[in-house]
């Protein structure tokens, strides 16, 4: 018997619903170990408000060290209202932003897919959302989030941030978007505000130039305000949406309305030393600890991890199929409740997905055995 491969995963449950949903994502990864030679070795560390509470800083050194020395990072959520009054650099969110910068992942992939079983949960008409399958490629290390100068002046009477992009920062994330489009429907919509912002003019020029290396991909450009509208009125027109940091933050939450719940959205941050997987939904302090949070965004993030960091394409596809199967059977968490639905708790949902996942793995592995 060959030695099992060890996949070192640093888990940062974080704040609010982060720990609850992370638990469910990890249980499906553990379920895999009976079927594969890869063993997921998980180490939990503190980040965000949880780290401020016990260590006085949102990104302790031991957390960063563990992340740097792992094969991937899984993060639940950061954000805790009791620390809202702190200066920017001390807030829970600063821990996540510093981690992103340190690990270097500049491309944040956020799929937003409409599942037929829950299309009625979208506030948009079923006929509009059905078939929607969008991949946001959000630039994650530049723009207003990181560029200097930033701050307050005049005794706090004015405040400023800087939107800055270099050609290289745009090129590298654009390439990720074109590569992703190749494996999909071969269309990239680049979103900017080039009618007003110089950074967007550079963005548009650079993306247009990079597109020449991908003649098989169709590129179009759209202003961000128009994109916000088209996402709602005609979501099926999009395949890959490439955009800068803040626009991507906003548009990906908007896209949650297409799927039916923010709790469903997964993400992967790639391109750096160590990739980060995290659900898009955030800490949701209002529902934390109640066992009602939707763990599917976290579980779908684990599926992205299997595909992109562990090289386990089939297992990733099985996990995504398991999620679909559970939804098709009518099970859902409270955020997706409706007529004819069977509402389960956070762990109830994790349990169902694990069972279906194991069923699919069983079939796959017994098939290969004969
Ligand atoms: C996200 C979140 C973060 C962001 C916050 C928590 C810093 O909203 O991942 O979308 O703005 O990037
Ligand atoms: Mn966000």
* Catalytic one of 45, 91, 193, 341: 193
* Confidence (pLDDT) at 154: 86
* Catalytic one of 65, 84, 153, 225: 225
Q: Which of 49, 56, 42, 60 is nearest to 6 (CA)?
A: 42
Q: Is the CB of 335 under 6 A from ligand 1?
A: no
Ligand 2 centre to CA of 304 (Å) is 18
Ligand 1 centre to CA of 142 (Å) is 13
Q: Is the CB of 282 under 6 A from ligand 1?
A: yes
For the question of residue 15 being annotated catalytic, the response is no
Q: Which of 10, 131, 361 is nearest to 353 (CA)?
A: 361
> If you search the block for the tokens 């800087």, which residue do you land on?
162
Confidence of residue 365 (pLDDT cuts 50, 70, 90): confident
> For the chain, what is the mean pLDDT?
96
Question: Which tokens sit at 117?
Answer: 């079983």
Q: Is the CB of 78 under 6 A from ligand 1?
A: yes
Ligand 1 atom with the smallest distance to the CA of 140 is: 12
* Confidence (pLDDT) at 21: 98
The predicted model gives 326-337 an average pLDDT of 97
Ligand 2 centre to CA of 5 (Å) is 34
Ligand 1 centre to CA of 28 (Å) is 25
Q: Is the CB of 93 under 6 A from ligand 1?
A: yes
For the question of residue 253 being annotated catalytic, the response is yes
Nearest CA to ligand 1 atom 7: 93
* Confidence (pLDDT) at 224: 98
* Burial bucket for residue 88 (CB in 10 Å: 0-12, 13-18, 19+): exposed
Confidence of residue 3 (pLDDT cuts 50, 70, 90): low
* Confidence (pLDDT) at 4: 65
DSSP element (H, E) containing 77: strand 72-77
Ligand 2 centre to CA of 246 (Å) is 9
Q: What residues form DSSP beta bridges with 14?
A: 77
Q: What is the DSSP letter of 359?
A: H
Q: Is the CB of 49 under 6 A from ligand 1?
A: no
Is 370's pLDDT higher than 70?
A: no
Nearest CA to ligand 1 atom 10: 249
**107 and 244 Cβ atoms separated by less than 8 Å:** no
DSSP element (H, E) containing 276: strand 275-277
Ligand 1 centre to CA of 342 (Å) is 31
- Rounded to a whole number of angstroms, the CA Rg of the chain reads 20
For the question of residue 193 being annotated catalytic, the response is yes
Is 96's pLDDT higher than 90?
A: yes
Q: Which ligand is nearest to the CA of 245?
A: 1
pLDDT per residue as tens digits for the range 221-272 = 999 999 999 999 999 999 999 999 999 999 999 999 999 999 999 999 999 9
List CB contacts of 312: < 8 A, sequence separation 6 or more: 32, 36, 38, 306
* Confidence (pLDDT) at 1: 41
> If you search the block for the tokens 């290969």, which residue do you land on?
368
- Model pTM above 0.75: yes
* Confidence (pLDDT) at 367: 67
Look at residue 70 and give its three-state secondary structure: coil
Question: Which tokens sit at 31?
Answer: 């379920």
Q: How far is CA 56 from the centre of its chain?
A: 27
- DSSP code per residue over 210-233: HHTT-TTSEEEEEEHHHHHHHHHH
Ligand 2 centre to CA of 249 (Å) is 5
pLDDT per residue as tens digits for the range 47-65 = 999 999 999 999 999 999 9
* Catalytic one of 8, 133, 186, 253: 253
Q: How many Å apart are CA 57 and CA 49, to the nearest integer?
A: 8
Q: Is the CB of 295 under 6 A from ligand 1?
A: no
The predicted model gives 163-167 an average pLDDT of 98
Q: Which of 299, 363, 301 is nearest to 327 (CA)?
A: 299
Q: Which of 209, 365, 281 is nearest to 15 (CA)?
A: 281
Ligand 1 atom with the smallest distance to the CA of 100 is: 12
Sheet holding 38-44, edge to edge: 38-44, 5-14, 72-77, 275-277, 268-270, 107-113, 133-139, 240-243, 187-192, 218-223
Q: Which of 30, 9, 17, 7 is nearest to 357 (CA)?
A: 30
For the question of residue 91 being annotated catalytic, the response is no
Q: How far is CA 169 from the centre of its chain?
A: 20
Nearest CA to ligand 1 atom 12: 249
List CB contacts of 240: < 8 A, sequence separation 6 or more: 134, 135, 136, 137, 177, 180, 181, 184, 187, 188, 189
Nearest CA to ligand 1 atom 2: 282
Q: At what angle do helices 346-369 and 313-328 cross, to 10 degrees?
A: 130
Q: What distances in angstroms separate CA 369 from CA 181, 359, 360, one per listed residue?
A: 35, 15, 14
């Amino acid at each position: 018997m060959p030695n099992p491969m060890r996949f070192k995963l640093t888990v940062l449950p974080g704040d609010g619903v982060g720990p609850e949903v992370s638990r469910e994502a990890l249980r499906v990864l553990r379920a895999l170990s009976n079927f594969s030679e890869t063993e997921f070795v998980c180490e939990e560390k503190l980040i965000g408000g949880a780290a401020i509470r016990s260590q006085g800083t949102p990104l302790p050194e031991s957390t960063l060290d563990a992340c740097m020395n792992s094969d991937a990072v899984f993060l639940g959520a950061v954000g805790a209202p009791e620390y809202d009054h702190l200066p920017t650099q001390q807030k829970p969110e600063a821990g996540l932003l510093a981690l992103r910068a340190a690990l270097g992942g500049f491309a944040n992939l956020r799929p937003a897919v409409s599942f037929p079983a829950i299309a009625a949960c979208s506030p948009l008409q079923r006929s509009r959302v059905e078939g929607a399958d969008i991949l946001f490629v959000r630039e994650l290390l530049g723009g207003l989030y990181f560029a200097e100068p930033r701050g307050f002046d005049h005794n706090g009477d004015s405040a400023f941030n800087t939107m800055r992009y270099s050609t290289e920062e745009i090129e590298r994330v654009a390439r990720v978007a074109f590569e992703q489009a190749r494996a999909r429907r071969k269309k990239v919509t680049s979103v900017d505000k080039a009618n007003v912002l110089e950074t967007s003019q550079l963005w548009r020029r650079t993306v247009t130039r990079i597109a020449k290396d991908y003649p098989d991909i169709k590129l179009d450009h759209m202003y961000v305000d128009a994109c916000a509208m088209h996402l709602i009125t005609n979501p099926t027109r999009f395949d890959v949406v490439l955009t800068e940091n803040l626009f991507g933050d906003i548009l990906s939450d908007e896209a949650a309305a297409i799927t039916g719940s923010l709790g469903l959205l997964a993400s992967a941050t790639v391109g750096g030393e160590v990739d980060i997987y995290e659900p898009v939904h955030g800490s949701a302090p209002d529902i934390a600890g109640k066992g009602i949070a939707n763990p599917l965004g976290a579980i779908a993030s684990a599926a992205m991890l299997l595909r992109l960091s562990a090289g386990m394409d089939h297992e990733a596809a099985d996990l995504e199929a398991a999620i679909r199967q559970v939804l098709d059977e009518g099970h859902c968490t409270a955020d997706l409740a409706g007529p004819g639905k069977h509402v389960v708790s956070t762990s109830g949902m994790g349990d169902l997905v694990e069972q279906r996942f194991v069923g699919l793995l069983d079939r796959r592995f017994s098939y290969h055995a004969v």
